[in-house]
Amino acid sequence: MGLTSGVLLVSTVALAVVLFSATVMLWPRLARRGWLPVSGRVGLLLATQLVLFAAVGLAANRSFLFYGSWADLFGQEQEIGVVVDHGAASKDLRVVGTRAMDVPGGSRPSAGGQIQEVVVRGERSGITSPAFVYLPPEYFQARYEGRSFPAAVVLTGYPGTAENLIKGLKYPQTAYLQAKAGKMQPMVLVMLRPTVAPPRDTECVDIPGGPRTETFFAEDLPKAVSGAYRVGTKPRNWGFMGNSTGGYCALKIALHHPDRFAAGAGLSAYYKAAEDMTTGDLFHGDQALRQRGDLLWSLDHRPPSASSFLVTTSKKGEGNLKATRQFIAKVKKPAQVSSIVLDSGGHNFQTWRREIPPGLVWLGGKLQAD
């Protein structure tokens, strides 16, 4: 059974109920002294608690999609599969599968758009990563065949999977609905997780000695996508969006690479590269690199550009409220900054689902089609 299987969750909950019932019924028999009764009590208690924790963990993972499979949970490499060319291809990007959109008429790309599973090879960084590309319905319509579309890189948090962006946060469906309602222009979404060197959290940093994660996201990824799809190559054609770690990356890349990205939207972002057990030594003692990873420091010490930023937080439930206000105060013209401040909302999918529709509309308004 898969890690996110409903059958697995129900079976685990049922086992927890059985073990709890067995503990209650057998406890009088195990109340005697002696190593056998004591071992029985300890065994039943441990088994019940372990299965209960497993059930809670499985339920949380099924809701938030932290891990998509057992192999992902245990950090094992997964085979990418057989490459199948579906039209969009370049030396740096290969399509390995397609998915229909879960919208009316979704079986027809010209009506519902399409999600393509791709593998991107970074020419400069040397990083290879799977990703999903959402192509709007207009991409397949004859009247748009000569048009280049704007695009946005969309990142999940750490240690999330790219599936989170499709199944949990519903980016493609939201983009489809917002464009259909006339609130935003059709836009290509390039969706992946920030963990391109799993299981390490590289914080979108070019780590001395590698991996060169910032180079991959800022240079290799847009180049590969523009070479395979009808997507513009100018800064005005590209945006960046993400939640949590992905939000930090979105703001960082837009801030440090205004020559490639016109706008960055950070949902529940933090503003300084994390340094902990998941990241390892990111900077190798290089203080200049560490300061560059601090977005508040960067706003104070680098010349402002014409970039646009969107930041989100909550008055109650988020831990980034103070830092978000500092970020807003430090953005200087010609750069622009906008914000979404909820009265209440935690660091979770429910909050981000409230911010993604206006966030995509904002991002689409900052980008241009050619």
**3-state class of 270 per DSSP?**
coil
Which residues are CB-neighbours of 56 under 8 A, at least 6 positions away?
none
Contact at 8 Å (CB) between 188 and 135?
yes
Pairing of strands 263-267, 238-243: parallel
Could you give the CA distance from residue 69 to residue 195 in angstroms, rounded to a whole number?
15
Q: Which residues of the chain have pLDDT under 70?
A: 1-4, 30, 62-90
Contacts by residues 297-302 (CB-CB < 8 Å, ≥ 24 positions apart) = 298/255, 298/256, 299/255, 299/327, 299/330, 299/331, 299/332, 300/330, 302/255, 302/256
Q: How confident is the model at residue 70, as a pLDDT?
A: 64
What are the pLDDT digits (tens) for 222-234?
999 999 999 999 9
What is the distance between the alpha carbons of residues 226 and 221, in angstroms, rounded to a whole number? 9
pLDDT at 171: 97
d(CA 67, CA 126): 25
Alpha carbon separation from 166 to 32, 206, 233 (Å, rounded): 55, 27, 25
Whole-number Å distance between alpha carbons of 148 and 237: 9
Say what the pLDDT of residue 109 is: 95
Instruction: Return the pLDDT at 84.
Output: 41
Phi-psi region at 131: left, alpha or beta (left = phi > 0; alpha = psi -120 to 50):
beta
Q: Is 48 exposed, middle or buried (0-12, 13-18, 19+ CB in 10 A)?
A: buried
Domain borders along the chain are: 6-64, 78-366
Rounded distance, CA 210 to CA 213, Å? 8
Using one digit for the tens of pLDDT, what is the confidence trace for 239-258?
Answer: 999 999 999 999 999 999 99
| pLDDT on residue 79 | 46
**Amino acid 59: pLDDT:** 75
pLDDT of the residue at 85? 42
At the fourth CATH level, which superfamily is domain 78-366? Alpha/Beta hydrolase fold, catalytic domain (3.40.50.1820)
Residues 6 or more apart from 101 whose CB is under 8 A from it? 112, 113, 114, 115, 172, 173, 176
